[in-house]
Structure 1
Amino acid sequence: MFSSVAEAGSCPMKMGQINKALETGAVKNVAMVKKLLAEGKAAHESGQHGKSVDLLLKAIKAGGI
């Protein structure tokens, strides 16, 4: 239960980090990052926080963020 709560709290921070990088144009592989961000957001909203974190971390890595 605690890992789920911790993961749920980290999703918005990761999404914010990605969005900020997208706004400043400091992102490689923009299309892939946007796709992974959308998938991560959807997973977060459906309560799949572990999956969301995995997708968002992939977006961060792919974008060089």
Structure 2
Amino acid sequence: MRRLILLVATALLSTSLWAMHCPADMAKIDERLKTDPPGDATVLAQVKQLRAEGEALHKAGNHSQSVKVLGEALQLLEASE
């Protein structure tokens, strides 16, 4: 019984941590797009599309997938330097 309670508590806490991570990643992407957008229009379009997809996933409650998609957008931004 203790293990079950611990497992449930851990799952609930980890979900809320993912949920807080998404807005931080979206803010990083937004700031980067304002201050130093990629020069390549294709990369810029991909980053914007991934950012929008990440926000939609976040709003739908799929935080782990949102973090993954937003991470891809951040990687594209870093690679375009």
Above 0.5 in TM-score? yes
Number of matched residues? Answer: 65
Shift of 1:62: 1.1
* Residue 16 (structure 2) aligns with: 5
* Residue 5 (structure 2) aligns with: none
- Mapped to 1, the partners of 2:67 and 2:52 lie a distance apart of 12
Shift of 1:26: 3.7
CA RMSD in angstroms comes to: 1.4
Hey, which bits of structure 1, 4+ residues long, moved more than 2 A?
25-28
- Mapped to 2, the partners of 1:32 and 1:38 lie a distance apart of 10
- Mapped to 2, the partners of 1:17 and 1:59 lie a distance apart of 10
- Contact map agreement 2:50 2:72 (CA 8 A) in 1: yes
- Secondary structure of 1:47's match? coil
Does 2:69 align with 1:55?
yes
Identify unmatched segments of 5+ residues in structure 2: 1-11
Shift of 1:25: 2.6
- Greater Cα offset, 19-28 or 30-39: 19-28
Identify unmatched segments of 5+ residues in structure 1: none
TM-score norm. by structure 1 comes to: 0.91
> Radius of gyration: which is bigger?
2
TM-score norm. by structure 2 comes to: 0.74
